[in-house]
Amino acid sequence: MPHFSSDGVDIAYLDQGAGEPVLLIHGFASTKEINWVGPSWTKTLTEAGYRVIAFDHRGHGESEKLYDPALYDTRVMAEDAHRLLRHLGLDRADVIGYSMGARVAAQMALHFPHAVRSAIFGGLGIHLVEGAGLPQTVADALEAPSLDDVTDPMGRMFRAFADANKADLRALAACIRGSRQVLSREEVGRIFQPVMVAIGTRDAVAGAAAPLVALLPDGTQLDIPNRDHNPAVGDKVFKQGALDFLKSRP
């Protein structure tokens, strides 16, 4: 698996296929393999003729583990994404982010606008503006001695997921505490690229899609039927909607 240095932080990535580049940005406590390879996103996109690039966020997967919450600012993680494109000699790419990855994609579209041809915000709606990410109780759950010590339902879900994937719990707790940036309505209004907001109709984490779409200059909405936050990632409606969006954008 190739790696590169993003301002001194070691970042693992994959680069598959040929054609127009699509950058995939995974969600909290996930990895490029869990979020994108396992649910067949990489297969779907490469077979459709795209070059697929994905990376493990700092603190996740095969990338370097850091323990200072300030190092997980979503604006810093957007710089990781931008530096990866530059490392590969790419001026711009279509960007698909999920959940926390959509927060990073939004920061990338705002701060590196000419590097983002279009964006898909999966699993993130108006909470990009009105919510600060997962609750702090998730960080507490990750730092608990064991899963048996966690009573908060959402905390238990993420702790069990992290344990199953042998993740670095201390790094993930730092990430929760550091990646809580929101965008203002004015900032969302400056995201000029085509953006699709794709959310499961049972998603209780993302916030509603329609209010965010209304703030975007060129926003569209995709409802993923009967899916809550995590299962929506691999849904065939989401994949087909993404392919249709990529074909239709300028």
CA distance 222 to 75: 26
Residue 234 confidence (pLDDT): 96
Whether 133 has a pLDDT exceeding 80, the answer reads no
- Summarised one tens digit per residue, pLDDT across range 55-69 is 999 999 999 999 999
CA distance 214 to 209: 9
Output the pLDDT for position 131. 79
- How far apart are alpha carbons 234 and 24 in whole angstroms? 13
The predicted model scores a pTM of 0.97
How far is Cα 93 from Cα 155, in angstroms, rounded to an integer? 34
